């Protein structure tokens, strides 16, 4: 486990499995913190590559999208955080692949339901290689004024209300992501705010523990006090008790373990998290709170008194001269999306399209003044209708017939078999045979339906390696590469 600060104002991340909203929220937070560079370096989306357009303040930026983890790490060697939004089925495999990349230092696993055996393997590998796993079943974490993971702390309004756009003096760690947002608010009310906050996740075997992060906070000079929110179930809090007893933590710790109400029920109670289930007296909230209190932590008598305990501890540090409260700053205004502003009635936008070719007033629709019934009555076709729509007048029959031929050619071949289409069009224009042939051949490329060169290259490689057809197709799928030589979209293996 790392011994100091995980993130900074220059930290960049790779985001696995494209999710527009959490990525945009990260970029909005970047703008709020006046970062010079976006915190998202690249997106990994197996099966597709290119760019995704998002907003960095008022500026629209293009973030590269990569097919795989290795390619993304090679393209962005300074990105050392891997934010994994994969489902529980593939989260472990993709997280392990990321941990094995030399550039990745922190892996955040959002998914719930990751098998415990898989998590144990990830944790063991991370510890052996001095890397950090946050999660599974986490919203991540935040370093105020510097870096935010995914949906941590919720909306921009909530982030501003909790003063997370600039660093405070409090290190905070919790098992719960939802309660983290609540505590960010509480801490902002009675102190100068959060410096760093982490939600370790609610699983039985989290990638990193409460005590791991408290020990980190103890080594960060800007963190003057620590707030911990635990819960019944498991024994993670006892490692924090042990660290306090051994004198490894020399900063004030204000802690509360939730779930004291469990004793009011006659039968065993399972709370929302997988790990929030008491397996005996030692795992009860009451026993943990007492152990923390005995070890020297500030532990209130109830959750309602938690805020007061945090406030009192902070004020004592200020009086002792150990904390100089951070001066407040005014964050920049996040530009509002046009659709949101229109819905709220803040702006009005002119229409972009005005039609002068179609008129639906009267008893029947008209195209450039010609009633639709007369088109049917005269036996006119699609080409005649298009001539009215595009040219606002009836063209000679040979013109409308030419339009229909063009439409039939496009409909039959489609854009990915454009060689044949271009050859035919060139021929209809009256060009010589060589010109017609060349116009088709010059169109052939990787997206052309035949893709002869690519098909030969891939098939020969598979043959040389002795792959079965099934192994070849599965290997191409995992790499996110479409099998060349199959030109139509419906001809693929689902």
Sign of the CA dihedral with 411 first, then 412, 415, and 419 last: negative
Name the most confidently modeled range: 5-14, 282-291, 367-376.
5-14
pLDDT attached to residue 358? 66
24-53 in b/e burial notation, b at 16+ Cβ within 10 A? ebbbbbbbbbebeebbbbbbbbbeebeebe
pLDDT attached to residue 492? 47
Cβ-contact 194, 170 below 8 angstroms: yes
Burial class (CB in 10 A: 0-12, 13-18, 19+), 494: exposed
Q: What's the predicted TM-score (pTM) here?
A: 0.71
From residue 245, alpha-carbon distances to 1, 3, 294 in Å are 20, 19, 9
Percent of the chain whose predicted confidence (pLDDT) is above 70: 87
Percent of the chain whose predicted confidence (pLDDT) is above 90: 60
Which position has the higher pLDDT, 441 or 102?
102
Q: What is the mean pLDDT of residues 457-484?
A: 86
Q: Is the pLDDT of residue 308 over 80?
A: yes
Q: Is the pLDDT of residue 74 over 90?
A: yes
Q: What is the mean pLDDT of residues 44-49?
A: 89
Q: Is the pLDDT of residue 413 over 60?
A: no
pLDDT attached to residue 491? 44
H or E element, residue 460: helix 452-464
From residue 8, alpha-carbon distances to 4, 37, 177, 425 in Å are 11, 12, 21, 58
Q: Is the pLDDT of residue 466 over 90?
A: yes
Domain positions in the chain are: 13-319, 350-405
pLDDT attached to residue 277? 52
| CA count, 13 A, side-chain hemisphere, 59 | 10
Q: What is the mean pLDDT of the chain?
A: 87
pLDDT attached to residue 415? 53
Q: Which of 273, 352, 421, 488 is catalytic?
A: 273
pLDDT attached to residue 305? 97
Q: Is the pLDDT of residue 442 over 90?
A: no
pLDDT attached to residue 53? 94
Q: Is the pLDDT of residue 475 over 90?
A: no
Tokens, residue 72: 């993304």
Give 311-360 pLDDT, tens digit per residue: 999 999 999 999 999 989 999 999 888 888 888 888 876 766 666 666 66
The residue assigned the tokens 């409909």 is: 411
Annotation says 76 is catalytic: no
Grouping H, G, I as helix, E, B as strand and the rest as coil, residue 15 is: strand
Pick the CATH number of 13-319 from 1.10.645.10, 3.40.50.261, 3.40.50.450, 3.40.50.740: 3.40.50.261
Give 157-207 pLDDT, tens digit per residue: 999 999 999 999 999 999 988 899 999 999 999 999 999 999 999 888 899
From residue 401, alpha-carbon distances to 193, 258, 407 in Å are 73, 77, 10
Give 89-142 pLDDT, tens digit per residue: 999 999 999 999 999 999 999 999 899 999 999 999 999 999 999 999 999 999
pLDDT attached to residue 490? 40
Q: What is the mean pLDDT of residues 226-255?
A: 94
First to last CA, the chain: 41
pLDDT attached to residue 396? 92
Which position has the higher pLDDT, 187 or 477?
187
- Return d(Cα 67, Cα 94) in angstroms, integer: 13
pLDDT attached to residue 419? 75
Name the most confidently modeled range: 17-21, 192-196, 284-288, 488-492.
192-196
126-143 in b/e burial notation, b at 16+ Cβ within 10 A? beeeebbbbbbbbbbbbb
pLDDT attached to residue 1? 59
pLDDT attached to residue 352? 66
Q: Is the pLDDT of residue 386 over 80?
A: yes
pLDDT attached to residue 389? 85
Q: What is the mean pLDDT of residues 214-241?
A: 94
């Amino acid at each position: 486990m790392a011994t100091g600060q995980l993130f900074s104002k220059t930290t960049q991340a790779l985001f696995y499995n494209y999710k527009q909203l959490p990525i945009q929220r990260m970029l909005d937070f970047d703008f709020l913190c006046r970062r010079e560079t976006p915190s998202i370096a690249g997106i990994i989306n197996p099966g597709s590559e290119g760019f995704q357009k998002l907003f960095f303040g008022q500026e629209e930026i293009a973030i590269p999208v990569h097919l795989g983890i290795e390619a993304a790490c090679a393209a962005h060697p300074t990105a050392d955080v891997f934010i994994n939004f994969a489902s529980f089925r593939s989260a472990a495999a993709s997280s392990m692949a990321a941990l094995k990349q030399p550039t990745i230092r922190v892996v955040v696993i959002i998914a719930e339901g990751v098998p415990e055996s898989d998590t144990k393997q990830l944790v063991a590998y991370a510890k052996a290689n001095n890397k950090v796993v946050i999660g599974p079943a986490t919203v991540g974490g935040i370093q105020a004024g510097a870096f935010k993971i995914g949906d941590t702390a919720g909306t921009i309004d909530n982030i501003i209300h909790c003063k997370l756009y600039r660093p405070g003096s409090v290190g905070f760690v919790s098992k719960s992501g939802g309660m983290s947002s609540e505590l960010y608010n509480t801490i902002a009310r009675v102190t100068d705010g959060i410096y760093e906050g982490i939600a370790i996740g609610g699983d039985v075997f989290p990638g990193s523990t409460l005590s791991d992060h408290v020990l980190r906070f103890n080594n960060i000079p800007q963190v003057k006090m620590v707030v911990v929110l635990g819960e019944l179930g498991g024994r993670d809090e006892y490692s924090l008790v042990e660290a306090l007893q051994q004198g490894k933590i020399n900063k004030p710790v204000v802690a509360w373990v939730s779930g004291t109400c469990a004793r009011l029920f006659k039968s065993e109670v399972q709370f929302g998290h997988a790990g929030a289930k008491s397996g005996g007296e030692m795992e009860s909230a009451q026993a943990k709170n007492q152990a923390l209190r005995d070890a020297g932590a500030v532990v209130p008598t109830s959750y309602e008194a938690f805020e007061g305990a945090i406030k009192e501890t902070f004020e004592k540090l200020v009086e002792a001269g150990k904390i100089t409260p951070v001066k407040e700053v005014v964050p920049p205004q996040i530009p509002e999306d046009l659709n949101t502003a229109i819905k709220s009635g803040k702006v009005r936008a002119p229409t972009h399209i005005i039609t002068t070719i179609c008129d639906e007033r009267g008893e029947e629709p008209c195209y450039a003044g010609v009633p639709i019934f007369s088109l049917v009555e005269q036996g006119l076709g699609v080409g005649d209708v298009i001539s009215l729509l595009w040219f606002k007048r009836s063209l000679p029959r040979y013109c409308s017939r030419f339009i229909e031929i063009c439409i039939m050619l496009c409909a039959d071949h489609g854009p990915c078999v454009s060689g044949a289409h271009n050859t035919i069009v060139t021929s209809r224009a009256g060009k010589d045979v060589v010109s017609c042939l060349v116009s088709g051949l010059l169109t052939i490329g990787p997206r052309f339906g035949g893709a002869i060169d690519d098909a030969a290259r891939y098939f020969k490689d598979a043959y040389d390696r002795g792959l079965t057809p099934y192994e070849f197709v599965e290997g191409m799928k995992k790499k996110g590469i479409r099998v060349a030589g199959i030109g139509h979209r419906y001809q693929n293996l689902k």
